Structure 1
Amino acid sequence: MHIDSNDVFWMVPVAHHAVEVNFDEARARLRVSGLRVFDDHDIGNSLTLGLGLPGDMGFPYPHIDPVAPVRATVSFDVEWNGIVAMAQIHNSAQSFKGSFLSTGATIRWSVEQPGFRFETEAPDPGRNLVSVLGREQNGVFFT
Structure 2
Amino acid sequence: MAQQFVGKWNLIESDNFDAYMKQVGVGLITRKMAATLKPLLEISVEGDHWKLHSQSTFKNVLTEFDLGKEFEETTADGRVLKSTFTFEDGKLIQVQKKIKDGDKDSRFVRYIEGDKLIMEMESEGVKAKRVYERAQ
Common topology (TM > 0.5): no
**Radius of gyration: which is bigger?**
1
Q: TM-score, normalised by structure 2?
A: 0.34
Q: TM-score, normalised by structure 1?
A: 0.33
Comparing both structures, which one devotes a greater share of its residues to strand? Answer: 2
Q: Which has the higher contact order (CA 8 A, sep 6+)?
A: 2
